[in-house]
Amino acid sequence: MDSYLYLILNLSVISVPFIFSFYPKTEFWSVWKNLIPGLVIMGILYLIWDIIFTKLNVWSFNDRYLIGYSFLNLPVEEWLFFICIPYASLFIHFSMVKLYPTWKFSSSITKILTGILIFVLFILVLMNPGKLYTNVCFTLTISLLLWVTITKLELLQTFLLSYLFILIPFFIVNGILTGSFIAEPVVWYNNNHNLEFRIGTIPFEDIFYGLTLLMGTIFISEKFFEDPAYFQ
């Protein structure tokens, strides 16, 4: 059964959000077609990143927890990851926006939080030259935060709050992938290329890896919505 762990984890993550996508008060199914552009574009970018970093041994995958099929040197479970995890996470964000539209940070608080994040990440990049995961992840996050702050601040007002809720299942799922609750990690990280600071077993960089993946997907997808306030 070990060889099915990553596959089962992917399917478990998407199953509940998929079922509740038809809940009348949110009707997440109604925006599927609008999500496709963002999911595809960000998925391709992240898969290219994944393929390169796997080749450079920045991270790797444990065959013990894989069914044994791969494409472009990535296990099929990793390809599924970029469907299942974004879908489930965006479901949480969308549901919060639809059910609790007043739940958002003020513009001033959003600017302060974003400014703090950008400053801290910038300092960490300067202090850690040569650490590939740290530098690529934080530079991408800084760039996207700046761009969205300038062009779509209202998106950050809702997303930064919803991401705090998304982090709850994120820590569970990513915790398992990085070795929590199981004998060995599913995904191994080369500490020469990260800060070597972990929350449990999860590299600190993973928090911003996920933030950028999801925020980028929403930002791109909004361009394809008839109602641009769907995700805000």
Q: What is the pLDDT of residues 163-212, one digit of tens each?
A: 999 999 999 999 999 999 999 999 999 999 999 999 999 999 999 999 99
Any domain includes 38: yes
- Separation CA 140–CA 42 (nearest Å): 12
Any domain includes 87: yes
Domain that holds residue 192: 2-224
Any domain includes 167: yes
Any domain includes 162: yes
Any domain includes 229: no
- Separation CA 4–CA 12 (nearest Å): 12
Any domain includes 131: yes
pLDDT at 32: 87
Quick one: pLDDT band at residue 40, thresholds 50, 70, 90? very high
Written as six digits, the tokens of 13 are: 């993550």
Any domain includes 231: no
Cβ 175 vs Cβ 13: under 8 Å: no
Positive/negative CA dihedral, 82, 85, 87, 93: negative
Q: Which residue matches tokens 């020469």?
A: 192
The fraction of the chain above a pLDDT of 70, given in percent, is 96
The fraction of the chain above a pLDDT of 90, given in percent, is 86
How many domains, in total, are found in the chain?
1
Any domain includes 207: yes
Residue 226 has pLDDT above 70, yes or no: no
Q: What would the mean pLDDT of 9-21 be, rounded to a whole number?
A: 95
